[in-house]
Structure 1
Amino acid sequence: MPSAAEVVVVGGGLEGCAAAWQLTTRGVTDVLVLERSTVGSGMTGKSSGIVRCHYGVPTLAAMAVYGTEVFEHASDLFSDGLDIGFRSCGYVVGVGPENVEALHANLAAQRAAGVQTETIDHATVAELWPTARLDDFAAFAHEPRGGYGDAYLTAQAFAAAARRGGARVAQGAGVAAIETDAEGVCGVRLGDGSRVASRQVVLAAGPWSVALAAPLGVDLPIRVHREEIILLKPGVPTEGLPVFSDLVSLQYVRPDVGGEILFGNSDLATLKPADPDHYLDRADDAFVDMAAAKIGHRFPGLDDAVLASSYAGCYDVTPDYNPVISTVPAMPGLVVAAGFSGHGFKISPAVGRLVADLVVDGTSSDPRVPEHDLRLARFAEGDLLRSPHPYVGAGEMR
């Protein structure tokens, strides 16, 4: 363990490793990533891996566009022939009558942010998802470049690229505290009592960021929500199926590489509080029953489907369901990247780039991603980052 580093990144998940990689591309090579377990072993490994640019917040849409571009060119960017699990199967979103106007407004804003998206009709969706019931949808949109990926493999790719750029990644190196002096951040103290001096610390520890920030007088308004996922053996071929976001029944489904179908719940109106160190890591019976009802309604053609497995992870959720990627004026040298609220995978390359910008320049290099939108201070100021055109019933995730 080095005694000092120009930049210390706390957390070896997607966002921390993306930040380390992007810092090296900016010429900052004395970077040390500290991960308490192994790279991608926290909530990164529990991601459902959806890739979409369909956001009502233009900043998030632009970040997802950049993320998609990185995923599409992963082999060139990281290692020749590398497979990070990205599958560009397309992304379909369907809405009810009450959300048609919002859909069209959001599509216009997304196109302005660089998203390739279009409206499609019921007949086209029926061809894409032949087993789906579609009569209660009023409109659909389609992103041909959307799809899904593997967050764990992607984190590994970011970490490997960071190492090639000169960064060091220390696993089994849990941080007990971020240390400060009269000038601001001055380093970190590890669980074994050793210290690493640094005037730049990036806090990217997911739901564990809150406890590390609190002793500094930095209040991260983050709640921890337990998110459950189930995998079905559908009994029908899944090849060619796109990701389907159902904003009528509030669910999302996607094919998985083994021929299974992954199901997740889009209704976050009521959160399930959890301790990220101690929680049930599978779907409970109530969730399975709810999923069965939603899937049975939407996909009557899957009448031979059976439950294959389930798992659960935790979201670090902010009051506006959008992340904090921010310097902290009261604590010079600290950059926070936390509170991703379920959006972290698809925007992780852009998160890393913005973190690197904040460390090096103090401002964003992408005019489509103003750092002001994602500042921590917005919560105290009552200036939450909200979609101008929210979807009724699904505003939390859009």
Structure 2
Amino acid sequence: MGPQVDTLAPDPDIPAQADVVIVGGGIIGVSAALFLAQRGVSVVLCEKGHIAGEQSSRNWGWVRKARRDPREIPLIVESLRLWEGMNETVEAETGFRRTGIVFAADNEEDVARYETWLDHARPYQIDARLISGSELDQQMPGAGSRWKAALFCGTDGRAEPQKAAPAIAAAARRRGAVILTDCAVRGLDRQGGRIVAAVTERGYIRCKSVVVAGGAWSRRFLKDLGLTLPQLKVRSSVMRTAPLEGVPETALWCKDFAFRRRLDGGYNIANGNVNVVPIVPDSFRFFADFLPALRSDHKSLKLRPDGRFVQEWREAAPVPLDQISPYEKTRVLDPAPDRRYLRKALASLSSMYPAFAGTRVVQEWAGLIDVMPDAIPVISPVEDVPGLVVATGFSGHGFGIGPGAGRLIADLVTGATPVVDPREFRFSRFSDGSKPRPIAGI
């Protein structure tokens, strides 16, 4: 069972029309709704389950610039600026705090990789730097003799995934957005190639634009429109503890574990170097697309067969829009956590900070991350479907980058000057011969 998310009562009535319909109520969808509503655009957000029911409430809660893919740096810089004022913007607690994040380096190879990243980051004047010895001990007591060095960014921070998206959605509604939950969008109605309506389980919503921010469901949704999105899923597991004293406020990542303090005084803990990749029919279809990523990250990506193969096989066929869709049959993706990896992470963490040895584990959960072959998202109009904007494939980076992505989506929908250059996030990069690849060493 997933984490307890702050509840948000839906609007009772479905509008007959809107300027924009957003498919998906995660951090990306609600952020887009907020920025569109702020501009006076009439927007309806449709979520098949509840707000932040999937990965937007199940992630680590990190909000970071450090070790970002260089192509994402302009967007995360904007996103951090928005996070810093988010509590005031939404008039609620999102949990955002600047606490700093440390990425440990075990050896000279790690140090060299972080130095390369700093070269990428330098033009953006990001305050990250390499630290070691007593300076590392100051940020992370006991770490100075444990690791060769670390990458530290003091202005990075955290927010609470179970609070942030519901708070942003509520703020969007106060500005005029309509928020519908338990309301799946089954597909789109088009005339002359253009979008004229979103077809939901509760009826039609006439509109001119649709934003698909469906996370791990986006590949399935777009396939029914005749669009190929090379997207797969990665299962990531997290545990949280009861409130705990005597542990640093600064967040830490190393190859054995990662942790960060929660607003309630407990800690989120994860395995720092394990991601489970369910083998599904699309694994074979997109094998060539993802092969470079598998080669560069083969130690941390664990390919595993599980029940998702059969489920996705059964869900693959198109369903008429007047019939119950797969999105209604599975309101929330709620995979079982990988407890073996979590226990291993907790044991390693306890050896460094004994305070964790006796802590009470309150809950464990997992989520499915929507990943792309080059590990950066698609935030883009689709030329073949006028009025369609896709925002998905955030590859585990979506929570921190969410507000910036929401603003960029609003720019693309309204035709405003984009807050950052969106070229790297274009949908067409998978069909224009670009051969997208992850950036090695990040």
Q: Give the conservation status (yes or no) of the 8 Å contact 1:205–1:338.
A: yes
SS of 1:224's equivalent in the other structure is: strand
The 1:364–1:345 alpha-carbon spacing in structure 2 relative to 1, beyond 3 Å, is farther
Provide the rounded CA distance (Å) in 2 between the counterparts of 1:24 and 1:6: 10
Query: Does 2:388 align with 1:375?
Result: no
2:365 to 301, 311, 326: 311
1:102 to 113, 120, 138: 113
The 1:91–1:221 alpha-carbon spacing in structure 2 relative to 1, beyond 3 Å, is same
SS of 2:302's equivalent in the other structure is: coil
Query: Does 2:252 align with 1:200?
Result: no
Provide the rounded CA distance (Å) in 1 between the counterparts of 2:358 and 2:60: 23
Provide the rounded CA distance (Å) in 2 between the counterparts of 1:314 and 1:61: 24
Amino acid at match of 2:225: L
1:170 to 175, 180, 197: 180
Query: Does 2:311 align with 1:258?
Result: no
Q: Give TM-score, length-normalised by structure 1.
A: 0.86
Provide the rounded CA distance (Å) in 2 between the counterparts of 1:13 and 1:208: 12
The farther-off stretch of 307-316 and 107-116 is: 107-116
1:244 to 252, 259, 268: 252
Q: Give the conservation status (yes or no) of the 8 Å contact 2:334–2:366.
A: yes
SS of 2:224's equivalent in the other structure is: helix
Alpha-carbon offset, residue 295 of structure 1 = 2.7
Q: For residues 215-230 of structure 1, what are the structure 2 equivalents within 5 Å?
A: 215-230=224-239
Alpha-carbon offset, residue 32 of structure 1 = 1.0
Provide the rounded CA distance (Å) in 1 between the counterparts of 2:350 and 2:167: 38
2:438 to 377, 382, 386: 386
SS of 1:115's equivalent in the other structure is: coil
Match of 2:297 in 1: none
The 1:279–1:169 alpha-carbon spacing in structure 2 relative to 1, beyond 3 Å, is closer
The 1:301–1:127 alpha-carbon spacing in structure 2 relative to 1, beyond 3 Å, is farther
SS of 2:408's equivalent in the other structure is: helix
SS of 1:230's equivalent in the other structure is: strand
Provide the rounded CA distance (Å) in 2 between the counterparts of 1:75 and 1:306: 30
Provide the rounded CA distance (Å) in 1 between the counterparts of 2:242 and 2:88: 34
Provide the rounded CA distance (Å) in 2 between the counterparts of 1:45 and 1:101: 34
The farther-off stretch of 15-24 and 279-288 is: 279-288
Query: What is the root-mean-square deviation of aligned Cα atoms in Å?
Result: 2.5
1:147-200: CA deviation from partner (whole Å, max 9, x where unpaired): 2111232212321232232221122211111222223222211124x1111121
Provide the rounded CA distance (Å) in 1 between the counterparts of 2:246 and 2:272: 24
Provide the rounded CA distance (Å) in 2 between the counterparts of 1:377 and 1:125: 43
Alpha-carbon offset, residue 304 of structure 1 = 3.9
Q: Give TM-score, length-normalised by structure 2.
A: 0.78
The 1:365–1:385 alpha-carbon spacing in structure 2 relative to 1, beyond 3 Å, is farther
Query: Does 2:136 align with 1:125?
Result: yes
Q: Give the conservation status (yes or no) of the 8 Å contact 1:229–1:262.
A: yes
2:34 to 7, 21, 31: 21
Q: Give the conservation status (yes or no) of the 8 Å contact 1:251–1:266.
A: yes
The 1:212–1:124 alpha-carbon spacing in structure 2 relative to 1, beyond 3 Å, is same
2:166 to 118, 139, 156: 156
Q: For residues 282-301 of structure 1, what are the structure 2 equivalents within 5 Å?
A: 282-296=336-350, 299=353
Q: Give the conservation status (yes or no) of the 8 Å contact 1:255–1:262.
A: yes
The 1:181–1:271 alpha-carbon spacing in structure 2 relative to 1, beyond 3 Å, is farther
Q: Please list every run of 5 or more consecutive structure 1 residues that lacks an aligned counterpart in the other structure.
A: 392-397
Q: Give the conservation status (yes or no) of the 8 Å contact 2:373–2:437.
A: no
Q: Give the conservation status (yes or no) of the 8 Å contact 1:364–1:371.
A: no
Identity percentage over the alignment?
27
Q: For residues 340-359 of structure 1, what are the structure 2 equivalents within 5 Å?
A: 340-359=394-413
The 1:385–1:54 alpha-carbon spacing in structure 2 relative to 1, beyond 3 Å, is farther
1:2 to 15, 19, 33: 15
Q: Give the conservation status (yes or no) of the 8 Å contact 2:183–2:200.
A: yes
Provide the rounded CA distance (Å) in 2 between the counterparts of 1:178 and 1:270: 36
Q: Please list every run of 5 or more consecutive structure 2 residues that lacks an aligned counterpart in the other structure.
A: 1-13, 276-300, 312-326
Q: Give the conservation status (yes or no) of the 8 Å contact 2:30–2:168.
A: yes
The 1:18–1:385 alpha-carbon spacing in structure 2 relative to 1, beyond 3 Å, is farther
SS of 2:409's equivalent in the other structure is: helix
Provide the rounded CA distance (Å) in 1 between the counterparts of 2:352 and 2:228: 41
Q: Give the conservation status (yes or no) of the 8 Å contact 1:4–1:198.
A: yes
Q: Give the conservation status (yes or no) of the 8 Å contact 1:91–1:243.
A: yes
Alpha-carbon offset, residue 113 of structure 1 = 2.2
1:272-305: CA deviation from partner (whole Å, max 9, x where unpaired): 5756948664533422343245435655674444
Amino acid at match of 1:251: F
Provide the rounded CA distance (Å) in 1 between the counterparts of 2:438 and 2:339: 33
1:292-337: CA deviation from partner (whole Å, max 9, x where unpaired): 4543565567444454431111111111222111111111111011
Q: Give the conservation status (yes or no) of the 8 Å contact 1:185–1:331.
A: yes
Provide the rounded CA distance (Å) in 1 between the counterparts of 2:129 and 2:178: 43
Provide the rounded CA distance (Å) in 2 between the counterparts of 1:5 and 1:262: 39
1:178-236: CA deviation from partner (whole Å, max 9, x where unpaired): 222223222211124x1111121000111112221111111121112221112245965
Q: Give the conservation status (yes or no) of the 8 Å contact 1:236–1:302.
A: no
Match of 1:395 in 2: none
Q: Give the conservation status (yes or no) of the 8 Å contact 1:328–1:334.
A: yes
Provide the rounded CA distance (Å) in 1 between the counterparts of 2:399 and 2:378: 15
